[in-house]
Structure 1
Amino acid sequence: MRAILVLLGVAALIVAALMSFGFIDLNQTRAAALPNVRLEGGQTPKFDVDVGKVDVGTVNRTVEVPAVKVERPANGQ
């Protein structure tokens, strides 16, 4: 599979090089057009959904935080 991808990549590079040197010249001879599409009827789906309710709020509280004591070594390190 990898060999096929490598060959396709090399072929694309060769075609791009030939186009850049002028050996291959592509000219559009006819403009493209989208097909005519006609839609009729149809119906959208209908859903009856019951969803849960979420109440979000804030409360002020006092929280005890432990005291942290930092001591440096006595020998100066």
Structure 2
Amino acid sequence: MVFPQGLLHFQVQCGSTPAIAFATFNSPNPGLQITSLSLFGSSLPSPLVEKVTFLDDAQVKKLKKVLGGTG
């Protein structure tokens, strides 16, 4: 997969077997992504954010309210 610079991306392992991922960057300066704003200040669905962050529904909704997210 190829991701444009600055685009937040992640993968979720749906299967039950171990997975391996290799990450490479095309430059020594890959850029900066503020994860808290990208996750909680966006319109990503709350159940997805809960899976990625291991937080419960109340905590995710509280952070989305503070950082301006929806969903």
TM-score range, shorter chain: under 0.3
- Structure with the higher fraction of residues in helix conformation: 2
Larger relative contact order (Cα-Cα within 8 Å, sequence gap ≥ 6): 2
Q: Tell me which structure has the larger Cα radius of gyration.
A: 1
TM-score (norm 1): 0.18
TM-score (norm 2): 0.19
